[in-house]
Chains A and B, each alone.
Chain A
Amino acid sequence: MRRRLLIAGAAAAIAAAALSLGNALRGGSGQAAARSAPAVGIRPDSAEPTVGQLQARLRANPRDAHAYALLGVAYEQRARETGDPTYYTKAGGVLHRAVALAPKDLVATSGLGSLALSRHRFREALSLGRKALRLSPTTALSYGIVGDALVELGRYPAAFRAFDKMAGLKPGLASYSRIAYGRELLGQTAGAIQAMQLAVDAATSEREPAAWARWQLGKLYWSVGRLDAAEHQYRAALAAFPGYVYALDALAQLEAARGQTAKAISLERRAVDDVPLPQFVGLLGDLYRLQGRPALAQRQYALVGVIQRLLVANGVKTDLETALFDIDHGIRLPHALALARRAEADRPSIDGDDVLAWALARNGRCADALGWSRKALRLGTRDALKLFHRGMIEQCLGHRSAARSYLNRALALNPHFSIVWSPVARKALR
């Protein structure tokens, strides 16, 4: 009897202790301490000092929701500046903390939205962007997030409306560059160049956005074959931000177009050494092949395979660029077609449609490919690569005059639109 009493008492005590322990562990509620003043002035040329200041502030007060949000946004900017993907992970961690402490914080919500965009989670980005708009319908940045997501989901009219709204609220680099993109998608190259020039003017002192805007402007010139103007912009980008990998890669393509293969290789190698994105590595391989060094080319292609494996292991949703790489280089074409299907499902934009069309064509299913290629060109975009794909599909289906028309259009826009495929297009026209 006494034994049972003792056991019962112990059990009750344990239960009570468990309950109170749980309560003790919970700690305070999520109320942030006194909300501190708004953003510290961000030094125009880099986000690095801001990061340091905010980290110090948070160590002093670990419940400052707004500081977490600002730090998350600063980390995202550092990721753009340095190319170091660790910053994306940090940004995510810190932004989630911010949202946990203050679910209605505008900066944290839009910060998570832009992070979702960087991770190619476009549906999530759209949802977050809309949430940000509900929190504040007059903040231009939120329209940018929504518009970017809609573009990647192939919902162009809604996207363009969002971009127009954004530019109407706050004309500046962020909105001008999106207007330029909209015009580019609709095939209005002259208007796109004008808008992008406004974006360049608005950047001036900030390194990374200045370099980015110039790079995009250069790509616009490149897309219509104006190589000198493109080169000027790429070099201006490098002057603004020495070592900017995207400018190095773009310049490499340009030098290759001019027949300067060795120069192109040295530029591309610099890009690959700094940030080995699959499209850089793939291009380097193509350049080696052009130079007549197939062994080196093969090593680069194998490296692309390695990067793809890493992306898969890291859990990346299959990317368009990696699917396209396999298709372009004839690597396991049926598997590549499956990849392209998944990529298109994730990103039903005209880029997704085009990659799927090309994948079908390379697998010999040209009839199916035609429908997707039509979708890819439905906006009237003056994109040489998409036109080339269409030309090849028409040729595959035996529509000779249509094929010639599309291939001519592609080469007329930019005779050097692709290291690998421009010669193929020229040959097909002979």
Chain B
Amino acid sequence: MRTALHYPRLAFTVLGLLAGAIALVIAVGPGPQAAKASSHREAPLIATDPTADNTDLYAFVSPDRPDTVTIVANYIPFEEPAGGPNFFNFDPSALYTLHIDNNGDGRDDVAYEFRFSTETRNPNTFLYNTGPIGSLNDPNWNVRQFYSVTRVVGHHETVLGSHLPSPPNNIGPRSTPNYAGLASAAVNTLGGGIKVFAGQRDDPFFVDLGSIFDLGGLRPFNSLHLIPLPDAPGVDDVAGYNVHSIVLQVPISQLVSGNPTIGIYASASRPKIRILTADGTQRHRGPFVQISRLGNPLVNEVLIPLGEKDYWNRQDPSDDSQFIGHYLNPELAALIHVLYPGLPAPPATGRSDLVSVLLTGVPTLNFTGPRPSDELRLNTAIPPTANPDRLGVLNGDFAGFPNGRRLGDDIVDIELRAIACGYGPILHQALGLCDLQPNDQLGDGVDANDRPFLPTFPYVALPKQGYDSHT
């Protein structure tokens, strides 16, 4: 039998290559992976941006003052109450804005700008406080924040209040013994019937994050999941955290113009700077770049793909028609059927119902016009109800989400049912929206915040204290 030896040329070529390579190897230097060597500069790349992170936006007709609207904009998610040594503060270089669009063109017509400043009484210590903080003026309180509120209408700017105090973080019984008193002292009344508060509060959001991010698990429906588990009650994974809230209460008359329905969104912006500057000592008045915005809840988290998030955050709502594809063909709708094969599959294309609910408003409820823009739409002509239903409009409570958003509205369940095409019999009858059963029963099993809300301004519960943060 002939073998490779009968093909000398080939064999020799191969051997020659081998030999040459071996010779090279001897000359070649060493090899593999690095321990962390030294530092080339290594600036952070993947730091999140908590101080500019819009977490939630609420807007509702104030239940105790129905001629006003209350807007709550929350920033800085997952504030661990035992937050020392740094504690949490608004970013003094950022611009926090609440935008109101009252003519349906997607552009804001009235805006309220918040700027913060941090003052350190004693720069020689890094302690937040050097003794108990008895009042907002207590000399023991070392790192304090103040803010100004400016109303912008067109090019017209009016400063409504400046150097307004923000309360301290809720640290513990020694540092902040009478926190309720401190917090209420920080409620500021400005002219024209406007009330404002900016500071730490309990995070009013409630959701079973742990289960939802575990392949879309909904604990009460665990047995229907693709990877079944025993059914269980939902767990509020946001309970126990604080947040920083900007709460603004404004008479309705100062916001509306013709249509009683207004569109609201919140944003955070930072000054844009470049490497080359005129003289290196410019003051930062602008231009500001919007780095986060929030109208309707969960849009950025669930509908906008990862590669577009930075871009989406910078857009003005008036340009949101460019994103309409993500609303018409939501990926999540297709996912629901994959994850819950036993449930009827909601349509994953042609979802003009979602466009209605989230981009233009629902006709006869909170419609602002045909121009798609992501805004929380509040129909100020609908009075607040005495007994709010957490499922809002889905259960016939038209003062709830998606008509504005109250603190107690369970937007996770509402949006889940909306995307799963389970709007419920009421909306199915009234507006012809789809209602697949049992998709209209879906929910994460977390129906309320762990702390009760307050009946009066600023409505959001007091922040959890750092001292007993894990009790």
Contact = CB atoms under 8 A, between A and B. Distances in A.
Question: Do A and B interact directly, with beta carbons closer than 8 Å?
Answer: yes
Interface string A231-245: 010011001100000
A76 B45 CA distance: 10
Interface in A215-255: 216, 232, 235-236, 239-240, 246
Q: Which of A189, A190, A198 has the most CB of B within 10 A?
A: A198
Interface residues of B, number: 78
Contacts of A43: 78, 80
A277 B38 contact: yes
A138 B358 CA distance: 24
B45 A311 contact: no
Contact of B48 (A53, A110, A206): A206
A37 B289 contact: no
A178 interface: yes
A221 to B, nearest CB: 14
Contacts of B309: 139
A76 B46 contact: yes
Contacts of A60: 214-215, 227
A173 interface: yes
- The interface residues of chain B, by DSSP majority, are classed as loop
Q: Which of A73, A83, A119 has the most CB of B within 10 A?
A: A119
Q: Which of A38, A310, A321 has the most CB of B within 10 A?
A: A38
A284 B214 CA distance: 49
Interface stretch (B268-276, B379-387, B444-452): B268-276
Interface in B233-266: none
Interface in B8-55: 30-52
Given A148-B41, A170-B291, A194 B281 contact: yes
Contacts of A88: 33-34, 36
A311 B30 CA distance: 10
A153 B38 CA distance: 16
A36 B43 contact: no
Given A76-B46, A167-B273, A171-B270, A311 B76 contact: no
A138 B275 contact: no
A351 B86 CA distance: 35
Q: Which of B40, B87, B212, B310 has the most CB of A within 10 A?
A: B40
Nearest to A177: B43
Contacts of B424: none
A399 to B, nearest CB: 31
Interface string A52-85: 0100110011000000000001001101100101
A38 B214 CA distance: 11
Contact of A279 (B38, B216, B308): B38
Q: Which of B44, B79, B289, B313 has the most CB of A within 10 A?
A: B44
Interface residues of A, number: 109
Interface string A130-162: 000001101111001100100110000000100
Contacts of B291: 170-172
Interface string B163-190: 0000000000000000000000000000
Contacts of A278: 38
A314 B33 contact: yes
B213 A194 contact: no
A110 B284 CA distance: 31
A182 B48 CA distance: 22
B215 A61 contact: yes
Nearest to A135: B307
B338 interface: yes
B44 A36 contact: no
A43 B82 CA distance: 13
B349 to A, nearest CB: 17
B306 interface: yes
Contacts of B273: 167, 171, 176, 179, 195, 198
B126 A239 contact: yes
B275 A164 contact: yes
B130 interface: no
Contact of A73 (B46, B78, B94): B46
A168 B272 CA distance: 6
B86 to A, nearest CB: 5
Nearest to A232: B123
Contacts of B331: 35
B194 interface: no
A216 to B, nearest CB: 8
A204 interface: yes
B392 to A, nearest CB: 23
Contacts of A279: 38-39
18 contacts: A34-B226, A37-B302, A37-B332, A38-B301, A44-B80, A77-B46, A85-B35, A85-B36, A141-B46, A167-B274, A170-B49, A186-B276, A191-B281, A236-B126, A277-B39, A322-B38, A347-B40, A351-B40
Interface of A: 33-38, 40-45, 53, 56-57, 60-61, 73, 76-77, 79-80, 83, 85, 88-89, 92, 106-107, 110, 114, 117-120, 135-136, 138-141, 144-145, 148, 151-152, 160, 163-164, 167-174, 176-179, 181-183, 186, 188-192, 194-195, 198, 201-210, 212, 216, 232, 235-236, 239-240, 246, 275, 277-279, 310-317, 319-322, 347, 351
Interchain residue pairs A-B with the least CB separation, the first 10: A191-B280, A136-B307, A138-B311, A182-B275, A315-B31, A171-B270, A315-B32, A239-B126, A321-B38, A209-B47
Given A34-B338, A169-B314, A314-B32, 9 more contacts: A79-B36, A107-B306, A148-B43, A170-B313, A177-B43, A194-B282, A202-B52, A314-B34, A316-B37
